[in-house]
Amino acid sequence: MNSSWTYDTPNTVDYSRAWTTTVNSEMGIVETKPGDESMGYQDLVVGRQRGSTSSTYTTEDCTDLDDPRAYTMPCVDGWAYQLMEYDWENGGGKPLGQDTTTKLVAWGSPYGWLGASSYSNFDDSAKLSGTGDRSYATFIVLGPRCRYQGAACTGDGDVALTVRSVDALAQATLSSFTTGALATSAPAGPGATQSKALVNGYNDTYAAYYLVPAGGKVAFEFTPAAGAPVDRPIFVLSGVTPTKLPVITVGGSPVTVNTGAADSGAFVSYRSDARELWITLNQTVGSAVSIAIAPM
C-alpha cells in the first residue's frame, strides 16, 4: 500500500486492470460504452486523486473511512473499482508494505444505480435515475501485459488494446446508405422491455453495429475515425429470414464467407429467435470503405 500510483491519464472508456510481476500476464474488465459516467464508485474520485499522481498528491486522510493509518495508495474503502485492496483492510493484520498474491478484478457502480429514484454519477456532475431496465456490458480480458521484441517491451497489453478498440468502435461512422439504413434504437439490454437510442447504429450491449435492411440487403460506407482502425467489426441485420449465405463485398470486391478457415473474409451466423443476421468482417478497417451485403 506504499506503492506509487498515477491517475492523470485522460480516458473515455471505463476499465479496471491488474497484473502480476512474476510473469507477463494481466487481466481486466473493459466497458463497451465510452463516456459512461454511471459506472464506478466515486467516493475518492471527485476533486481528489483524479488528475494526480502519488508524487503530487498529499497522502489521503482515511479517518473518515474508519482507517487511521497513513499509506501512499488511495484509501482502501474508496477505490473506483475493487481490485485486491481489501487484503489490507484496517484490522486485517496484513502489513502495508507486504505484497499480495490475490488475483481479483471487479466491477461496480455508484450507490443507487440499481433501483434508486436518483443517484450521483461517477464524476458527481449530475443526478441520474436508477429506475427501469438496468444494463451494461463489458469485455473480460485475459492476456499479456506487454508485447516484447527481445527483452524490450514495445507494445501494449490486451487491456490497453481493448480500451482502444472500444474507442474506435464508438467513433466510426456508417453513412451514404444506398440500400437500408441505420437502426436508431435497440432494447436497453438483454430481455429489456425499454429501449435506448443508438448513435451510428452502435449497440454497446453487443459491441456491434445494428442495421435495418431493405429487401434483405444493405449498402453503405464505413469510416473509422482518424488513427482509430476498427478490428473485425460486427454488423447485425435485423428482421431478416435468410435462405442462404449472403454475398458480401468490401470496396467493391467480394469476400469469402464461412469457408471454415480462420482467414475467411467474413463469418456469418443467424439468430432465428430475433431474426438477426450477424456478420463479422474478418479484417481491420483503417480507412473509409464501401460495404454491401446482398439479398439472401
167-216 pLDDT, tens per residue?
999 999 999 999 999 999 999 999 999 999 999 999 999 999 999 999 99
Rg (C-alpha) for the chain, rounded Å, is 23
- Would you kindly state where each structural domain of the chain is located, as residue ranges? 1-164, 172-293
Contacts of 17 (CB under 8 A, 6+ apart): 26, 27, 28, 105, 159
Q: Distance between CA atoms of 220 and 224, rounded to whole angstroms? A: 13
Dihedral over Cα of 30, 143, 285, 265: its sign: negative
| DSSP run (H or E) holding 278 | strand 276-281
Residue 124: predicted pLDDT: 82
215-249 pLDDT, tens per residue?
999 999 999 999 999 999 999 999 999 989 999 99
Q: Distance between CA atoms of 71 and 61, rounded to whole angstroms? A: 9
Q: Are strands 208-212 and 234-238 parallel, antiparallel or unpaired?
A: parallel
Residue 279: predicted pLDDT: 97
Residue 43: predicted pLDDT: 67
Residue 140: predicted pLDDT: 97
- For the record, the C-alpha cell of 210 comes out as 445494428
Torsion of CA 128, 130, 132, 137, to 10 degrees: 90
In the 3-class helix/strand/coil scheme, how is 191-241 assigned residue by residue?
CCCCEEECECCEECCCCEEEEECECCEEEEEEECCCCCCEECCEEEEECCC
Torsion of CA 192, 196, 199, 205, to 10 degrees: -20
| DSSP run (H or E) holding 254 | strand 253-254
Dihedral over Cα of 199, 205, 211, 215: its sign: negative
Residue 45: predicted pLDDT: 61
Q: What is the pTM assigned to this prediction? A: 0.93
Q: Distance between CA atoms of 167 and 225, rounded to whole angstroms? A: 10
Question: Do 266 and 218 meet the contact criterion of CB atoms below 8 Å apart?
Answer: no
Q: Residue-wise pLDDT tens for the chain (296 aa)?
A: 999 988 888 889 999 999 998 899 999 999 999 999 888 887 666 556 778 898 888 777 888 888 999 898 888 888 889 999 999 999 999 999 999 999 999 998 888 999 999 999 888 889 999 999 999 999 999 999 999 999 999 999 999 999 999 999 999 999 999 999 999 999 999 999 999 999 999 999 999 999 999 999 999 999 999 999 999 999 999 999 998 999 999 999 999 999 999 999 999 999 999 999 999 999 999 999 999 999 77
Categorise residue 145: left if φ over 0, alpha if ψ from -120 to 50, beta otherwise: alpha
